[in-house]
């Protein structure tokens, strides 16, 4: 980057110590930061109408001087503030309701701009709560030429805090642009600019601040959004390439074990499973380590796909490690896998934190000797003393529960083993491109045949007694029930039912049944114990927060009641609903809630309408936005200044294509072109990716 752009802002003309502090608060320290401080909006002031030419009912922009102001109290709790302005041709009022302080904002003689819909009131023009800006103070008649940046053009609106006005900020930006734009250099190779019809960088920066037309503004936005996505995708592409630079074991896909496995399979694979198995097989014979994420709704049959890969490992004399987040899940997988591999000479073992010392030693010895083909476990698998003879495949279930480091530690126990990670949380494509950009993604988007769809019913709060009698009926039929609440404990601030309180209520109402409580503030062992008892049918009703385990199979739990359903994200509701529908009887998901808004109601209707996790995830993403959707920062969701992964998904796809075409050498660049790009990636992503040894 040009050295002039690194200049600190205190050296800029007109930026005194107080301003520096203010700008620092906005994250602005250098000239570069200023140039990259983009407007949040733009308003068209190129078309300011003489007041006598405005049209009633139209949105118009006018400019005039404040000639009178007053606030009238209509009732004790209702006031109207009227600011009258005048230009050479006429008069118009800006009107505000119950905002008496507006009167203090405007001073007599101020030159102001109003933007809003024109109405006629008692023969006079007025605008209700117009957008406004004071462009010249009436008190101090300072001569300045600021008009050229504040009116008669498309004007930027910046995201600002108190103590600095749009006008003041525009002036600083204008000065910066006028004096420093010349130092900005293009870094994007010509081929890319041409292929994706992007405007050059200087042009983009200029027009993002001071667009000469809305068309140029749009081109500027497109270019800057493209760049933002592009460098992330380039970082992913480089990272992915680095993985693929390693040598991976070529698996035997025509061995004896896989043949036996296929012959003993109790059902036929779904088309989605077949497709995904092909994708995995291709990875396993590619000679490079597999790095694949397998997404599929709860119950879509990911486990059997994972076992398929593990059997291929066995045919290739390699061991498989399967890591899952909890002990119950590990036990469940162990039993399922043993069952699937009955009669086939594949040795499966289970290693838990609580495994007895003697047994543990035996397992570890066998693992090291290569006598165990598939080992299933929790975090226990990444302990120091767990050693493999030849670990060839790592499978991680419910991957969101593990950190990247834990994954890496398991992988380290082999020599570039193939890696398959699985998740039951459907992630929309735009998000997986930004979060799993260096990982290949496979999707199972089809459930095995013969599943009874879960009946989802929406109730309002006051129908709770109908629900209780329905549940009474179901309990008599020997069915188990989940009841889910958003809170663990009663809170003074929010008037919501909590799990603890409702546990009491359920216990009292259903006296003959065993009602248990589970929530995130309990110890992990305690929780697992309760889940175990629920699975063994010792517990009939499980009152819970959202902690109930992903992927747990309790076939007789076929009713789930979720109260305050409007408080949960759609994806969360979908995950919760996935707890039922695992047995032969009809399952029910009862959503209880009183959404306060039309949108809230529509959200819940989506749950009633569809059971497709991807559709729900897309909807959830568009309602709540990426940050909320992913839940926490730890998922590595990158922050974008100007791009939006939902609205700009098309640009995202194009930038990915461009970035990967460079790394895959489909697009030939010379050395200097590459250096320019890598310099920027290093600056942006050196913390996120380990890219410092790029050549």
273 touches ligand ADP by CB under 6 A: yes
Please report, in angstroms and rounded to a whole number, the separation of the first and last CA atoms in the chain: 19
From the list ligand ADP, Mg ion, none, which binds 267 (C-beta under 5 to 8 Å, kind-based)?
Answer: ligand ADP
Q: How far is the CB of 325 from Mg ion (least distance, A)?
A: 11
Instruction: List the one residue out of 329, 582, 278 whose CA is nearest residue 443.
Output: 278
453 touches ligand ADP by CB under 6 A: no
300 touches ligand ADP by CB under 6 A: yes
Segment contacting Mg ion by CB under 5 A, of 52-60, 118-126, 147-155, 546-554 = 546-554
508 C-beta neighbours (distance < 10 Å), count = 9
Site for ligand ADP in 215-244 (CB under 6 A): none
Site for ligand ADP in 116-155 (CB under 6 A): none
Segment contacting ligand ADP by CB under 6 A, of 51-59, 168-176, 292-300, 618-626 = 292-300
462 C-beta neighbours (distance < 10 Å), count = 9
180 forms beta bridges with none
From the list ligand ADP, Mg ion, none, which binds 514 (C-beta under 5 to 8 Å, kind-based)?
Answer: none
Measured at the CA of 238, the angle between CA 237 and CA 242, to 5 degrees, comes to 115
304 touches ligand ADP by CB under 6 A: yes
From the list ligand ADP, Mg ion, none, which binds 518 (C-beta under 5 to 8 Å, kind-based)?
Answer: none
164 C-beta neighbours (distance < 10 Å), count = 17
551 touches Mg ion by CB under 5 A: yes
C-beta of 296 vs 417, nearer to ligand ADP: 296
626 touches ligand ADP by CB under 6 A: no
295 touches ligand ADP by CB under 6 A: no
Tell me the three-class secondary structure of 109-138, residue by residue.
CCEEEEEEEEEEECCEEEEECCEEEEEECC
Q: How far is the CB of 575 from Mg ion (least distance, A)?
A: 12
d(CA 300, CA 316): 27
C-beta of 424 vs 562, nearer to ligand ADP: 424
From the list ligand ADP, Mg ion, none, which binds 300 (C-beta under 5 to 8 Å, kind-based)?
Answer: ligand ADP
Site for ligand ADP in 564-593 (CB under 6 A): none
Closest CB to ligand ADP belongs to which residue? 301
DSSP assignment of 531-569:
HHHHHTTS-SEEEE-TTSPTT---TTEEEEEEETGGGS-
Ramachandran assignment for 690, one of left (phi > 0), alpha (psi -120 to 50 degrees), beta (any other): beta
303 touches ligand ADP by CB under 6 A: yes
Give the strand order in the sheet containing 440-444: 348-351, 374-377, 319-323, 391-396, 418-423, 291-296, 440-444
Measured at the CA of 96, the angle between CA 67 and CA 126, to 5 degrees, comes to 60
9, 177, 391, 424: which one binds ligand ADP (CB under 6 A): 424
267 touches ligand ADP by CB under 6 A: yes
* DSSP count for the chain of H helices, then E strands: 23, 21
Q: Return the C-alpha torsion angle 388, 390, 392, 395, nearest 10.
A: -10
From the list Mg ion, ligand ADP, none, which binds 662 (C-beta under 5 to 8 Å, kind-based)?
Answer: none
φ, ψ (nearest 5 deg) of residue 243: -60, -45
Q: How far is the CB of 26 from ligand ADP (least distance, A)?
A: 46
Do the beta carbons of residue 343 and residue 292 sit within 8 Å?
Answer: no
Segment contacting ligand ADP by CB under 6 A, of 233-241, 262-270, 368-376, 410-418 = 262-270
248 touches Mg ion by CB under 5 A: no
426 touches Mg ion by CB under 5 A: no
90, 138, 255, 448: which one binds ligand ADP (CB under 6 A): 448
Segment contacting ligand ADP by CB under 6 A, of 133-141, 229-237, 299-307, 382-390 = 299-307
Instruction: List the one residue out of 467, 452, 553 whose CA is nearest residue 505.
Output: 467
C-beta of 266 vs 354, nearer to ligand ADP: 266
Do the beta carbons of residue 563 and residue 502 sit within 8 Å?
Answer: yes
d(CA 562, CA 385): 44
Q: How far is the CB of 328 from ligand ADP (least distance, A)?
A: 13
Site for ligand ADP in 512-571 (CB under 6 A): 551
Q: Provide the token pair at 399.
A: 């991957």
From the list ligand ADP, Mg ion, none, which binds 325 (C-beta under 5 to 8 Å, kind-based)?
Answer: none
d(CA 357, CA 525): 19
Q: Provide the token pair at 244.
A: 């693929």
38, 175, 269, 640: which one binds ligand ADP (CB under 6 A): 269
Q: Is the sign of the CA dihedral 566, 571, 575, 578 positive or negative?
A: positive
299, 353, 370, 555: which one binds ligand ADP (CB under 6 A): 299
Q: Which residues bind ligand ADP (CB under 6 A)?
A: 267, 269-270, 273, 296, 298-304, 424, 448, 551
Residues of this chain that bind Mg ion (CB under 5 A) = 551
């Amino acid at each position: 980057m040009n050295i002039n752009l690194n200049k600190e802002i205190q050296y800029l003309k007109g930026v005194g110590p107080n301003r520096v502090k203010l700008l620092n608060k906005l994250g602005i320290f250098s000239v570069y930061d200023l140039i990259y401080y983009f407007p949040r909006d733009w308003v068209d002031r190129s078309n300011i109408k003489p007041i006598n030419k405005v049209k009633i009912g139209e949105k118009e922009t006018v400019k005039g001087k404040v000639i009178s102001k007053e606030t009238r109290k209509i009732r004790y709790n209702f006031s109207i503030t009227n600011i009258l302005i005048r230009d050479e041709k006429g008069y118009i009022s800006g009107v505000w309701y119950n905002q008496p302080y507006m009167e203090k904002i405007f001073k007599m003689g101020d030159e102001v701009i109003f933007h809003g819909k024109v109405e006629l009131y008692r023969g006079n023009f007025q605008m209700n709560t117009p957008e406004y800006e004071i462009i010249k103070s009436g008190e101090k008649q300072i001569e300045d030429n600021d008009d050229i940046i504040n009116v008669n053009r498309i004007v930027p609106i910046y995201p600002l805090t108190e103590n600095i006005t749009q006008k003041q900020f525009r002036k600083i930006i204008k000065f910066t642009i006028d004096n420093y734009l010349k130092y900005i250099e293009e870094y994007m190779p010509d081929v890319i600019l041409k292929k994706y019809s992007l405007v050059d960088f200087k042009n983009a920066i200029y027009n993002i601040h001071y667009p000469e037309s809305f068309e140029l503004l749009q081109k500027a936005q497109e270019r800057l959004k493209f760049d933002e996505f592009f460098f992330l995708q380039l970082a992913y592409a480089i990272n992915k390439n680095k993985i693929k630079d390693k040598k991976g074991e070529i698996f035997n896909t025509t061995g004896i074990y896989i043949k036996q496995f296929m012959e003993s399979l109790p059902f036929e694979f779904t088309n989605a499973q077949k497709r995904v198995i092909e994708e995995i097989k291709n990875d396993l014979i590619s000679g490079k380590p597999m790095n694949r994420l397998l997404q599929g709704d709860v119950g879509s049959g990911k486990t059997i796909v994972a076992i398929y890969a593990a059997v291929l490992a066995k045919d290739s004399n390699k061991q498989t490690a399967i890591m899952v987040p909890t002990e119950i899940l590990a036990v469940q997988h162990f039993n399922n896998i043993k069952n699937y591999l009955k009669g086939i000479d594949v040795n499966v073992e289970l290693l838990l934190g609580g495994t007895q010392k003697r047994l543990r030693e035996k397992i570890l010895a066998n693992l090291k000797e290569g006598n165990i083909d598939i080992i299933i476990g929790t975090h226990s698998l990444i302990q120091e003393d767990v050693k493999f003879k030849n670990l060839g495949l790592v499978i991680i279930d419910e991957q969101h529960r593990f950190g990247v480091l834990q994954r890496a530690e398991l992988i380290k126990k082999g020599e570039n083993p193939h890696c398959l990670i699985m998740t039951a949380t459907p992630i929309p494509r735009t998000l997986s491109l930004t979060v799993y950009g260096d990982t290949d993604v496979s999707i199972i988007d089809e459930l095995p045949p013969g599943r009874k769809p879960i009946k989802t019913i929406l109730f309002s709060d006051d129908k709770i007694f109908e629900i209780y009698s329905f549940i009474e009926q179901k309990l008599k039929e020997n069915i188990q029930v989940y009841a889910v609440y958003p809170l663990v404990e009663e809170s003074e601030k929010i008037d919501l039912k909590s799990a603890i309180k409702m546990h009491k209520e359920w216990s009292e109402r259903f006296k003959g049944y065993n009602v248990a409580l589970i929530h995130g503030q309990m110890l992990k062992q305690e929780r697992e114990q309760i889940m175990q008892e629920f699975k063994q049918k010792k517990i009939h009703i499980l009152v819970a927060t959202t902690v109930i385990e992903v992927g747990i199979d309790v076939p007789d739990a076929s009713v789930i009641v979720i109260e305050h359903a409007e408080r949960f994200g759609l994806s969360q509701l979908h995950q919760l609903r996935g707890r039922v529908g695992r047995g032969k009887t009809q399952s029910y998901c009862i959503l209880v809630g009183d959404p306060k808004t039309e949108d809230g109601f529509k959200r819940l209707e989506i749950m009633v309408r569809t059971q497709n996790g991807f559709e729900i995830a897309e909807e959830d993403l568009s309602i709540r936005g990426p940050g909320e959707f992913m839940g926490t920062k730890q998922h590595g969701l990158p922050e974008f200044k100007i791009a939006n992964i939902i609205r700009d998904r098309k640009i995202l796809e194009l930038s990915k294509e461009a970035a990967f075409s460079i790394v895959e050498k489909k697009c030939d660049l010379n050395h200097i072109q590459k250096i320019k790009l890598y310099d920027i990636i290093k600056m942006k992503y050196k913390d996120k990716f380990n890219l410092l040894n790029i050549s």
